[in-house]
A = this chain, B = another copy of it.
């Protein structure tokens, strides 16, 4: 059985290895977890002993297939709980992360699977991230960043890259959410800001914002 801490590390390694090149450096995990790199080194050794990561001194880690499975089981729980909080407990999408960080550690396969059934087998969480099914398989539609959406081609917002409360509330205020149809009306060459139509309203957003919105064309 994993401790709470090893689970947090595995999840962090998993997420880091998604965005980067597979192998994950000590410092990057230290930053994510909020720990010193010496602590991370210790944990890398421990996870390596448990055959959850492949670790070579000074070379970072990669998850073993068992490590990936363990990480995905946590991701699955995290995203199911987030879905539950939003769909049944009146949480807003910017409020769920912290609570789901706790709930994801609850150990009960029955609980996870029944929660999934109760939610009617959701495929995506409130931020548009795919939820691994019981077999830990998830499919994500091919999505692009809003910065890449061609002019006057309608797309639908299907996710966000930045999950911070600040960003999510910013989107709320602009009435942009998962499922909102979006059209790029004009791209400003000067600063790459965009004039877009989001739902019924037109508005201007910065490049930084557009870089954090995923679109299904």
Residue among A88, A89, A98 having the largest count of chain B Cβ atoms under 10 Å: A89
Complex-state Cα separation, A88 to B116, whole angstroms: 11
Contact of A203 with B by CB under 8 A = no
A137 to chain B, nearest CB (A): 23
* Chain B residues within 8 Å of A117, by CB: 90
Q: Which residue of B88, B98, B105, B111 contacts A118 across the interface (Cβ within 8 Å)? A: B88
Task: Kindly state the interface size class of chain A when it binds its partner.
Answer: 20 to 34
In the complex, what's the smallest C-beta–C-beta distance from A215 to chain B, in angstroms? 31
A76 to B157, CA, bound (A): 40
In the complex, what residues of B have CB within 8 A of residue A98's CB? 108
Nearest B residue to A85 via CB reads B111
Distance in Å: Cβ of A90 to nearest Cβ of chain B: 6
Other-chain residue from B89, B91, B118 in contact with A89 (beta carbon distance below 8 A): B118
- In the complex, how many angstroms separate the beta carbon of A141 from the nearest chain B beta carbon? 29
- Report chain B residues within 8 Å CB of A103: 103, 106
A95-B110, A110-B95 known; A115-B102 Cβ under 8 A: no
The reply on A66 being an interface residue by CB < 8 A is no
A140 within 8 A of B: no
A107 at the interface (CB under 8 A from B): yes
Copies of this chain, complex-wide, total 2
Contacts of A106 in B (CB 8 A): 99, 102-103
A114 at the interface (CB under 8 A from B): yes
Interchain nearest-CB distance for A108 vs B (Å): 5
Q: Mark interface residues in A78-110 (1 if CB within 8 Å of B CB, else 0).
A: 000000010011110001001100110111101
- In the complex, which residues 174-209 of chain A have their Cβ closer than 8 Å to any Cβ of chain B? none
- The distance in angstroms between the C-alpha atoms of A107 and B102, with both chains bound, is 8
Pairs A–B under 8 Å by Cβ, sample size 17: A85-B111, A88-B118, A89-B110, A90-B114, A90-B117, A91-B110, A91-B114, A95-B110, A98-B108, A99-B106, A99-B108, A99-B110, A99-B111, A102-B105, A102-B106, A103-B103, A103-B106
